């Protein structure tokens, strides 16, 4: 598959919580506390960043597969499994199971009690709120709801 084709940015992918996003909109952040405070390294850091991103962006748990994490971290599923186990042992994530018919699925949540309280989250929320207001204002104007 050619990921650099001219139309690759137009393809849509369904992520693990059902929100459809185009290729260019999919990303996750590595925060400084993950390295400085938690001292996470390599696959552990990237796996935690993805799970944390689900919490930050959607206030939700990560419900994707190990295969998904392996693709996004460029690691093997075995390395991802080891990283998940390590993150659980460090109590940075919590694992629970949900039953979907005959299928039992692991769900990973960020242990919010261990997150640092810091200004960066407040600043990011202020910026996100301002951007949301701008998008809403633009959309209302496009729909003819604002003069």
Each residue's pLDDT tens digit, 120-134 = 555 555 555 566 677
Predicted TM-score of the model (pTM): 0.65
What is the structure's pLDDT at 1?
A: 36
Burial of 16 (0-12, 13-18, 19+ CB in 10 A): middle
What is the structure's pLDDT at 126?
A: 59
22 φ, ψ (degrees, to nearest 5)? -80, 160
The count of other CB atoms within 10 Å of the CB of residue 23 is 13
- pLDDT, one tens digit per residue, over 48-83 is 999 998 888 777 888 889 999 999 999 999 999 999
Measured CA to CA, the distance from residue 4 to residue 33 in angstroms comes to: 33
Measured CA to CA, the distance from residue 129 to residue 55 in angstroms comes to: 17
Average pLDDT over residues 130-140: 72
Strand 20-22 to 12-14 pairing: antiparallel
Q: Coil, strand or helix: which one is 105?
A: strand
């Amino acid at each position: 598959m050619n990921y650099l084709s001219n139309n690759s940015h137009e393809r849509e992918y369904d992520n693990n919580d059902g929100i459809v996003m185009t290729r260019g909109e999919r990303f996750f952040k590595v925060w400084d506390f993950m390295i400085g405070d938690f001292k996470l390294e390599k696959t552990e850091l990237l796996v935690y960043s993805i799970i944390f991103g689900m919490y930050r962006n959607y206030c939700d748990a990560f419900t994707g597969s190990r295969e998904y994490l392996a693709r996004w971290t460029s690691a093997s599923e075995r390395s991802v499994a080891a990283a998940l186990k390590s993150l659980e042992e460090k109590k940075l994530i919590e694992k629970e199971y949900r039953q979907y018919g005959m299928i039992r699925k692991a769900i990973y949540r960020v242990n919010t009690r261990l997150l640092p309280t810091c200004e960066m989250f407040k600043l990011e929320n202020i910026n996100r709120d301002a951007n949301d207001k701008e998008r809403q204002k633009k959309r209302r104007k496009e729909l003819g709801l604002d003069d």
